[in-house]
């Protein structure tokens, strides 16, 4: 049979009884946990979420989830995020939306009921997560009292189920204290249910819970990660675990898996040469090991790499430097290191882009781990084929972590998913059957708007430079003329004689126009990037940049001349 994975998340944050505190975290936690468990690249579970259900609804759903059509190939995860209540007789109950603290037997879901269902399931593995607020379950007006210690795992002690390999229970804290006195909470009841579930989600989503970096997050991996994270945030809270299971259960795919290759030792003669007292012999041995590291046989190449690392650690500076340069051959070198898909209409198929892995075979041997759920990465003959999920609008930015035998590398991926274009106009010519464009209909050609605007920008910038030169020439001639007239002359008359102002004004206007049109061209290129060819994009950027180099000095010099003109007129 094919393995199947199912999860049921029960989250109750609203209660009819006024004595039960309304919780803030369960709803958010349910959404976050269901997302990470559903993700095919992480948990790959079929997930059902039950929110603020009644006692009867909770019981029916739990019993159906654990017992209906289950087999040894099924893996089950059951998660509670709600209040946990201990009765006066010492029994543990989970609070439903209609639970009444004084009537727990009839309105609460007992841990004994859950344990009985787990013992009867035929599923191969069952994991129960309890993120319940035992301390602080009641607010003003509650009248339930209980002993101070609540050992949660005691409620699930027992033999493993007759079918399957067993179960495990992980709880946010084992010993939960009630601290009630006259229906008032004391400072001892400060447990927050979100800390535990947040740690579970974080460990699975980031892959940090994969402690041994074997590519899978086991139950033990996750518990160790969650224990450390919860203790860091709240030293008084100790997650606990009990396991009645043969073997272990893989909860999720990790994202920290490293390449592990069984190394083949270098030949004995090469080892002896690496230990020679003669430095030239050792240098020659390093060159030989470097050539072995380039072998397509990865075991041989890995053995050579490890031998070179030993040389770097133990040999003299000269030989170690040579070995260090050889080890550069196994560094990850993805090309390009940044992919930009530009603006992509929602729900459209996006052409994949390729990341080429350069270097020797050992350097190209790596694991790609996308950091975003929207990233799609597949191995190809050329390297990695990268695509994006366009189901949701918005700006997408994420990394693909590449983990090799020697180092890591990152490929940044960006895209912007925009609303889809409007539907095709109804008057589009169709064929005789009305199924599509006619044979004479031609797809629209590549737009030329941005390059044309860039060319206009450059033309305006050149005109502004020419007119500024003309204005400067006229200013010089006017000054010479004023000098010949002497002190009785006026600069305004000389400027008017040589028509100084018109070319100065034209130069400023055309320079400002060039900058404005250039900005529009760049905006057009950004907004419709994928409609232009690479050559058109490059030409547009080059023309606009050249125009800016011409227009900006003209604006500055023309402004200075315009400011100086009235000052000179006043003086002369």
Which residues are registered as beta bridge partners of 410?
A: 401
| Lowest mean per-residue pLDDT among 240-244, 443-447, 560-564 | 443-447
Instruction: Please tell me the predicted confidence (pLDDT) of residue 155.
Output: 55
Whether residue 402 is predicted with pLDDT greater than 50 in this model: the reply is yes
Residue 50: pLDDT above 80?
yes
Signed CA dihedral, 319, 322, 324, 326: sign only: negative
How do the domains of the chain map onto residue ranges? 4-253, 268-330, 334-418, 449-571
Give the span between the Cα atoms of 337 and 321, in whole angstroms: 27
Q: Give CA 193 to chain center in angstroms.
A: 26
Over residues 80-99, the mean pLDDT reads 85
Q: Which has more confidence, 476 or 328?
A: 328
DSSP 20: B
Residue 208 banded pLDDT, cuts 50, 70, 90: confident
Distances from the Cα of 116 to the Cα of 102, 160, 203, 527, angstroms: 24, 11, 30, 61
Please tell me the predicted confidence (pLDDT) of residue 437: 46
Positions of E strands within 182-311: 184-185, 216-218, 240-245, 250-253
Closest listed residue to residue 118, CA positions, set 154, 158, 83: 158
Which residues partner with 98 through β-bridges?
none
3-state secondary structure (DSSP) of residue 314: helix
How far apart are the C-alpha atoms of 50 and 12, rounded to whole Å?
Answer: 8
Residues 318-354: pLDDT tens digits?
999 999 999 999 998 999 999 999 988 988 887 789 9
Query: What is the structure's pLDDT at 429?
Result: 46
Q: What is the mean pLDDT of the chain?
A: 79
Q: Give residue 308's pLDDT.
A: 94
Angle between helices 193-206 and 219-233 (to 10 degrees): 130
- What's the pLDDT at 447? 58
160 neighbors 203 (Cβ within 8 angstroms): no
User: What integer pLDDT is reported at residue 522 of this predicted model?
Assistant: 79
As beta bridge partners, residue 409 has 402
Which stretch of 66-70, 71-75, 397-401, 531-535 has the lowest confidence by average pLDDT?
A: 531-535
Confidence of residue 188 (pLDDT cuts 50, 70, 90): very low
pLDDT digits over 1-45, tens only?
A: 446 889 999 998 888 988 787 777 778 888 889 998 988 878 889
The torsion of the CA quartet 52, 56, 59, 63, rounded to 10 degrees, works out to: -120
Class of domain 4-253: alpha beta
Q: Which CATH class is domain 334-418?
A: mainly beta
pLDDT for the residue 48 = 93
Asked if the model's pLDDT at residue 70 lies above 70, the reply is yes
Task: Round to whole Å and give the CA distance between 572 and 562.
Answer: 16
Query: Residue 273: pLDDT above 80?
Result: yes
Consecutive H or E run containing 466: helix 449-485
Digit-coded pLDDT (tens) for 119-154 = 888 888 899 998 876 633 333 333 333 344 455 555
Higher pLDDT among residues 375 and 144, named by residue = 375
Residue 142: what pLDDT?
A: 35
Between 147 and 203, whose confidence is greater?
Answer: 203
Q: What is the pLDDT of residue 152?
A: 58
Q: Inform me whether the pLDDT recorded for 187 exceeds 70.
A: no
User: In this structure, are strands 166-171 and 240-245 parallel, antiparallel, or unpaired?
Assistant: antiparallel
From its phi and psi, is residue 383 left (phi > 0), alpha (psi between -120 and 50) or beta? left
**Residue with more model confidence, 270 or 487:** 270
Say what the pLDDT of residue 65 is: 93
pLDDT at residue 523 greater than cutoff 70 = yes
Q: Pick the range with the lowest mean pLDDT from 168-177, 303-312, 442-451, 453-462.
A: 442-451
d(C-alpha 499, C-alpha 506), whole Å: 12
Instruction: Check whether the bond before 336 is cis (ω within 30° of 0).
Output: yes
User: Whose CA is closest to 165, among 226, 250, 241?
Assistant: 250
**432 pLDDT higher than 90:** no
The pLDDT-based confidence of 572 (bands split at 50, 70, 90) is low
pLDDT higher than 90, residue 279: yes
Mean pLDDT of 506-522: 86
What is the model's pLDDT at position 445? 47
Do residues 173 and 134 touch, judged by C-beta distance below 8 A?
Answer: yes
253's tokens: 């795919």
CB half-sphere exposure, 373, CA atoms < 13 A: 13
**Global pTM value:** 0.48
Token reading at 270: 């090469």
What share of the chain in percent tops pLDDT 70?
A: 78
* Rounded CA separation 74/126 (Å): 9
Lowest mean pLDDT segment, chosen from 465-474, 482-491, 538-547: 482-491
Q: What length is written for the chain?
A: 572
Average pLDDT over residues 536-563: 83
What separation in angstroms does the CA of 148 have from each of 30, 71, 88, 314, 536? Answer: 29, 40, 11, 60, 75
Q: pLDDT value at position 2? A: 47
Supply the Cα-derived Rg of the chain in whole angstroms: 37
Please tell me the predicted confidence (pLDDT) of residue 568: 66
* Spatial CB neighbours of 80, under 8 Å, sequence gap ≥ 6: 10, 94, 128, 129, 130, 131, 132
**Average confidence (pLDDT) over 311-323:** 93
pLDDT reported for residue 274 = 93
Cα separation, 158 vs 327, whole angstroms: 55
* Comparison of pLDDT for 474 and 440, the residue scoring more: 474
Is residue 427 very low, low, confident or very high in pLDDT (cuts 50, 70, 90)? very low
**141, containing H or E segment:** none
With tokens 């035929």, the residue in question is: 122
DSSP label at residue 349 = P
Q: What pLDDT sits at residue 64?
A: 93
What is the arithmetic mean of pLDDT over 492-498? 64
| CA nearest to 234, candidates 223, 226, 224 | 226
């Amino acid at each position: 049979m094919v393995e199947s994975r199912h999860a049921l998340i029960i989250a109750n944050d609203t209660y009819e009884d006024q004595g039960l505190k309304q919780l803030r975290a369960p709803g958010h936690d349910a959404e976050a946990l269901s997302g990470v468990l559903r993700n095919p690249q992480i948990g790959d579970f079929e997930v059902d979420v039950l929110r603020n259900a009644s006692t009867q609804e909770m019981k029916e759903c739990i019993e159906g989830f654990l017992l209906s059509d289950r087999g040894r190939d099924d893996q089950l995860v059951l998660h509670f995020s709600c209040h946990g209540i201990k009765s006066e007789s010492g029994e543990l109950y989970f609070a439903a939306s209609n639970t009444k603290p004084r009537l727990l037997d009839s309105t609460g879901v007992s841990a004994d009921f859950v344990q009985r269902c787990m013992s009867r399931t035929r599923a191969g593995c069952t994991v129960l997560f309890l993120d319940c607020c035992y301390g602080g379950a009641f607010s003003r007006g509650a009248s339930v009292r209980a002993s101070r210690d609540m050992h949660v795992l005691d409620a699930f002690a027992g033999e493993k189920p007759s079918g399957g390999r067993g179960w495990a229970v992980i709880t946010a804290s084992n010993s939960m204290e009630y601290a009630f006195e006259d229906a008032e909470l004391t400072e001892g009841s400060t447990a927050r249910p979100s800390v535990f579930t947040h740690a579970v989600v974080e460990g699975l989503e980031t892959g940090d819970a994969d402690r041994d970096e074997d590519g899978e997050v086991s139950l033990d991996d996750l518990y160790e990660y969650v224990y450390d994270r919860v203790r860091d945030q709240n030293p008084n809270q100790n997650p606990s675990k009990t396991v009645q299971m043969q073997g272990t259960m893989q909860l999720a795919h990790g994202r920290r898996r490293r390449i592990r290759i069984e190394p083949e030792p270098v030949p004995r003669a090469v080892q002896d040469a690496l230990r020679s007292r003669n430095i030239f012999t050792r240098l020659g041995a390093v060159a030989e090991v470097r050539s072995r590291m380039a072998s397509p046989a990865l075991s041989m190449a890995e053995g050579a790499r490890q031998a070179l690392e030993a040389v770097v650690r133990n040999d003299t500076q000269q030989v170690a430097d040579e070995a260090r340069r050889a080890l550069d051959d196994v560094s990850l070198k993805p090309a390009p290191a940044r992919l930009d898909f530009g603006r992509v209409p929602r729900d459209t198929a996006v052409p994949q882009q390729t990341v080429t892995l350069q270097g020797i075979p050992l350097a190209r041997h790596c694991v790609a781990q996308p950091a975003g759920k929207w990233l799609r990465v597949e191995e190809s003959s050329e390297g990695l084929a990268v695509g994006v999920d366009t189901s949701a609008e918005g700006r997408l930015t994420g990394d693909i972590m590449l983990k090799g035998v020697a180092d890591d590398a990152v490929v940044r991926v960006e895209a912007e998913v925009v609303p889809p274009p409007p539907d095709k106009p109804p008057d589009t010519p169709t064929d005789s059957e009305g199924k599509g464009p006619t044979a004479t209909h031609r797809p629209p050609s590549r737009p030329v708007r941005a390059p044309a605007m860039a060319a206009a920008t450059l033309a305006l910038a050149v005109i502004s430079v020419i007119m500024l030169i003309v204005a400067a020439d006229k200013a010089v001639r006017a000054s010479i003329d004023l000098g010949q007239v002497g002190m009785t002359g006026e600069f305004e008359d000389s400027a008017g004689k040589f028509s100084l102002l018109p070319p100065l004004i034209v130069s400023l206007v055309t320079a400002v126009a060039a900058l404005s049109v250039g900005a529009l061209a760049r905006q057009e290129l950004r907004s419709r990037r994928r409609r232009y060819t690479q050559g058109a994009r490059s030409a547009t950027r080059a023309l606009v940049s050249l125009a800016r180099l011409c227009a900006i000095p003209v604006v500055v010099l023309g402004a200075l001349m315009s400011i100086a003109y009235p000052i000179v007129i006043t003086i002369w």
